[in-house]
Amino acid sequence: MSERVVITGAGLVTALGGDRAATWTALGGDRSGAAPVTGFDARGFACRRAAQAAAPDAGALGVSPRDAYIMGRSNLWFLQAARAALAEAGLPAAFADGTDVGCFAALGMIDPLPDDLRAAAARSRGPDGAFDPDRFYADAYREIYPLWPLAILNNVGFCMAATCLGIRGENAVFASGADAGAAALIEAADVVSAGRAAVALAGGAAEAVTPLGLARWHRQASLCPGDGPEPACRPFHPVSGGVIPGEGAAVLVLEQETAARARGAKILAVVAGWGCAGGESAVVRAAEQALTAGAGGSLAVDLWIPHGEGATARDADEAAAYRRLWPRPDAAPPVAAFKGRLGHLGPAALAADAALAVEIIRTGCVPAAWPDGAGADAAPRLPLAAAGPGAAPRTLLLGVRGWTDAVAAVALAAGETS
């Protein structure tokens, strides 16, 4: 990196709160965001719980009903997190000339909702009441709302946010898993480091939990079955029940350190390095890149926040990588994981972990990986950080792993580290 990149704002929306402070406070207790799915009858699914965020208030975000329809819940959470991050950074809510402001977003899949097609489907019914394709193709499709195509564009969340915030600089939209969130953060840091943008937003939005979305979750992850209140997602627990889908968004504001300090911005964390890899040993290689990418040689890690999704096999892979990265137990860092509390935020997962890393650096506290002290009688696969104050980590290594096994790692350090 040519210039150090720092985080000056971090917005977070999760099932535990509509902002970072609320989420952090809830994490300090014993709450989990996981709960039975609401909004639709999920009884047909094996997994019937999710960490669902509160519905976004489009009006409060200055978004018209028309634009709220185009954006959907997921992209409204992205805008909500972006606004919070900009406010914390002391930057305008909307840039008058955003040519020097970049934005790199990781967005998930957007599903066509049957309700969007309802009128067309109703008009397509034949004499027997069944759907008649000939009627649909002949002219019933004209009942579809003309802006519906916009609502299913993969990049619509970014485009609407850019319009709302006046962002006109470098950008990209990545899809669609947790590794996409890493790409967003890494490319944003690279753009800022190289001076191609003065400020860059980096983050992602989790897919809203819908019937079709939940069906897809079942195809791509090992989910916790059932809908009981027990905390079944326990990353690195020997008998974790599996993954819990999560909702929300996280957005970070990145700037060059010198510029941020010059304008008096509070430095929440330094982006100290990054790496990404695929294939064999990807977790190890990505981590090693992240720890050696910055100036000043290899970084010592005080806390590792791996992907830790709660699926037994994939957690075991990360546990093996941990032992390769730190073969000496006495020199190995403790581990934190949040997906047991917030659910799996998909493309927003890394930025969410980064937002929480900011709080860990600020407070010196590490929240418990498992809510309610659940499974405390079992020895975890990795040495989980002791919950509560006292840890005071200064350098944290974050990791994510996409559905397709693309892996990325990002090192964050306390602001005063040089």
Partner 1 sequence: MSRPPAATDSQPPRRRVVVTGCGMITPLGRTTAETFARALAGESGVGYLTRFDARGLPYTIGGQIPDAWLDDQDGGFARRHRPQLALCTRLLLTAAAEAAAQARLDALPDRTRLGVAVGAHGENPSVDAAMFLHRFTDGQGRWDTAAMARSGGYDYFQFYRRKPDLAPVTLAARYGAGGPNLALVSACAAGAQAIGEGTRLIRDGRCDAMLAGGAESAIDFVGVLGFTLLKAMAERFAAPERASRPFDRKRCGFVMSEGAGVVVLEELDHARARGAAIFGEVLGYGDSADAYRITDTHPAGEGAVLAMRGALADAGLTPEAVEYVNAHGTSTQQNDVTETRAIKAVLGDHARNVAVSSNKSMLGHTIAAAGAIECILSLEGMRRGVLLPTINYEFPDPKCDLDYVPNAARNRAHRVVLSNSFGFGGQNACLCLGRWDE
Angstrom distances, CA of residue 408 to CA of 83, 253, 302, 318:
26, 19, 18, 12
Site for partner 1 in 109-168 (CB under 8 A): 109, 111-112, 114-115, 117-118, 121, 131, 133, 136-139, 141, 144, 146, 148-150, 152-156, 158-160, 162-163, 165-168
Q: Which stretch binds partner 1 (CB under 8 A): 50-58, 102-110, 231-239, 391-399?
A: 102-110
Query: In this structure, which amino acid lies at residue 139?
Result: D
Shortest Å, Cβ 219 to partner 1: 5
Provide the phi-psi class of 62: left if phi over 0, else alpha when psi is between -120 and 50, else beta.
left
Phi first, then psi, for residue 379 (nearest 5°) are -80, 125
Within its chain, how far is the Cα of 340 from the centroid?
A: 14
How many binding residues for partner 1 (CB under 8 A)?
83
Interface characters, 54-73, with partner 1 (x: CB under 8 A)? -------------x--x---
Shortest Å, Cβ 235 to partner 1: 23
Task: State yes or no: residue 229 binds partner 1 (CB under 8 A).
Answer: no
Q: Which stretch binds partner 1 (CB under 8 A): 12-20, 273-281, 312-320, 376-384?
A: 273-281
Task: State yes or no: residue 404 binds partner 1 (CB under 8 A).
Answer: yes
Task: State yes or no: residue 78 binds partner 1 (CB under 8 A).
Answer: no
Distance between CA atoms of residues 386 and 381, nearest Å? 14
Angstrom distances, CA of residue 281 to CA of 24, 302, 310:
33, 22, 20
From the list 344, 354, 356, the residue with the least C-alpha distance to 246 is 344
Site for partner 1 in 319-358 (CB under 8 A): none
Q: Which stretch binds partner 1 (CB under 8 A): 39-47, 250-258, 348-356, 376-384?
A: 39-47
Residue of 83, 216, 234, 341 that binds partner 1 (CB under 8 A): 216
Rg over alpha carbons for the chain, rounded to the nearest Å, is: 21
Q: What is the DSSP letter of 223?
A: B
95, 165 contact by CB (below 8 A): yes
Task: State yes or no: residue 258 binds partner 1 (CB under 8 A).
Answer: no
Interface characters, 362-391, with partner 1 (x: CB under 8 A)? ------------------------------
Buried b (16+ CB within 10 A) or exposed e, 293-320: bbeeeebebbbbbbbbbbbbebbebbbe
Task: State yes or no: residue 43 binds partner 1 (CB under 8 A).
Answer: yes
Distance between CA atoms of residues 5 and 298, nearest Å? 17
Task: State yes or no: residue 279 binds partner 1 (CB under 8 A).
Answer: yes
Task: State yes or no: residue 296 binds partner 1 (CB under 8 A).
Answer: no
Residue of 7, 33, 85, 190 that binds partner 1 (CB under 8 A): 190
